[in-house]
Structure formats: structure tokens, C-alpha cells
């Protein structure tokens, strides 16, 4: 009976420690609070560092305030075209055992970004699938990756894009297995 009780307590403790990131849930860390913004198709949701991050869930806007349609003109280059900066950020943020676990799972890190016309990242959210191992990454680790992404990755929009958008979306992704 004691063994059964200990097993149940262990399982409950493991569940309490894991991050779940369910829609509309607030997840507290030591240095940051993340909010699960929305479910996307097939059980994906976006987690973002602040409840005030509102542009991740809406259409991009032209300078006059009208919504941008998905197939509208946009020309932008990234300062990290091959993902090497993002890979370096992830490698330094994750413990080796977690990184190896993610490499073996064949998962990708997908980050949705809100870009200002000057190329800076205003908001970002991590897109997680329902069954992703990334859901066990602590909030503070996502926060560290967010700070590094905002500091190290920039976008270079062409003049037309700078002049017609109030802000726009981009996304970046890497496969964990590609991290050396």
C-alpha cells in the first residue's frame, strides 16, 4: 500500500512540475510570466511573454490601419538566413539532456514574430504542438531565448515594405536535430 501511495505521489509531483501551456492559461516563472494566447489548427498554441502581446493574434496592419491580407506584398530579409544564430541561442539556453531529448524527437522550434518597419522584433511567441516535448521547457528558459532572439536577430525590409506597413508578421524555425 505504501508503494502504491508513493507511486501516486510521484506521478502527481511530476505532473505538477511539468508545463502544460493550455489556452488562456498563465504560466509563472521566476523571471517571466507567459500566457497561452490561442489554439491554432491541429492542437497548436502560441505562448507569449505578456498578456499585452496582442499583435501575435491579429492581422498585420498597413500604415493607414487597414488589415493586411495574407498574400499582400512584403519583402524582408533576416539577419539569420540559415538559422545559425537561432540554433546558437537555443543551444546555450537548454540543458544538454533536454537538447538531446529534443534532437532525438525530430521536433522543430517555431517562433512567430511581430516586426516593426525598422526591422526590430516587437513581439514574439513560441508555437507549441499539443504533444510537444517543448511543453516541458520551463518558462524562464523561453524567456531567456526570447531576450536573445530580440537582441541578436533583425530583419531588413525593403523600402516599399517599410513605407506601407505599420507592422508585419514573420516566423523563424529550426529543427533541433540540426543543432551542432
pLDDT of residue 100: 92
pLDDT of residue 15: 36
pLDDT cut 90: percent of the chain above it: 27
Structure confidence at residue 171 as a pLDDT band (50, 70, 90): confident
Contact in structure between 174 and 106 (CB atoms under 8 Å): no
Taking the model in full, what pTM does it have? 0.79
Q: H-helix or E-strand containing 45?
A: strand 45-48
The SS3 call for residue 26 is strand
| Whether residue 106 has pLDDT greater than 90 | no
Contact in structure between 32 and 140 (CB atoms under 8 Å): yes
| Whether residue 48 has pLDDT greater than 60 | yes
Tell which residue, 38, 14, 25, 44, has the closest CA to residue 139. 25
| Whether residue 7 has pLDDT greater than 60 | no
Q: φ and ψ at 143, to 5 degrees?
A: -65, -45
pLDDT of residue 76: 84
pLDDT of residue 69: 79
Q: Give the ranges where 41-169 is alpha helix by DSSP (H).
A: 84-93, 96-105, 139-152, 159-164
pLDDT digits over 69-100, tens only? 776 777 888 888 889 999 999 999 999 999 99
pLDDT digits over 116-125, tens only? 999 999 988 8
Provide the 10 A C-beta neighbour count for residue 85: 19
pLDDT of residue 13: 39
List the helix and strand counts (H, then E) for the chain. 5, 9
pLDDT cut 70: percent of the chain above it: 79
d(CA 45, CA 48): 10
**Across 140-158, average pLDDT:** 92
Structure confidence at residue 33 as a pLDDT band (50, 70, 90): confident
124 DSSP β-pair partners: 113
Provide the 10 A C-beta neighbour count for residue 162: 16
Amino acid at each position: 500500500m505504501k508503494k502504491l501511495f508513493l507511486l501516486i505521489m510521484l506521478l502527481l509531483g511530476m505532473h505538477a512540475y511539468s508545463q502544460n501551456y493550455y489556452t488562456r492559461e498563465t504560466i509563472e516563472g521566476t523571471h517571466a510570466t507567459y500566457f497561452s494566447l490561442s489554439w491554432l489548427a491541429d492542437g497548436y498554441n502560441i505562448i507569449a511573454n505578456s498578456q499585452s502581446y496582442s499583435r501575435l493574434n491579429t492581422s498585420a496592419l498597413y500604415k493607414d490601419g487597414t488589415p493586411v491580407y495574407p498574400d499582400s506584398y512584403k519583402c524582408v530579409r533576416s539577419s539569420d538566413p540559415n538559422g545559425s544564430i537561432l540554433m546558437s541561442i537555443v543551444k546555450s539556453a537548454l540543458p544538454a539532456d533536454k537538447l538531446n531529448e529534443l534532437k532525438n524527437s525530430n521536433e522543430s522550434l517555431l517562433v512567430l514574430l511581430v516586426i516593426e518597419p525598422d526591422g526590430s522584433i516587437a513581439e514574439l511567441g513560441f508555437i507549441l504542438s499539443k504533444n510537444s516535448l517543448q511543453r516541458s521547457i520551463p518558462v524562464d528558459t523561453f524567456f531567456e531565448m526570447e531576450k536573445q532572439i530580440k537582441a541578436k536577430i533583425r530583419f531588413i525590409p525593403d523600402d516599399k515594405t517599410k513605407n506601407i506597413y505599420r507592422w508585419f508578421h514573420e516566423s523563424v524555425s529550426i529543427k533541433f536535430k540540426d543543432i551542432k
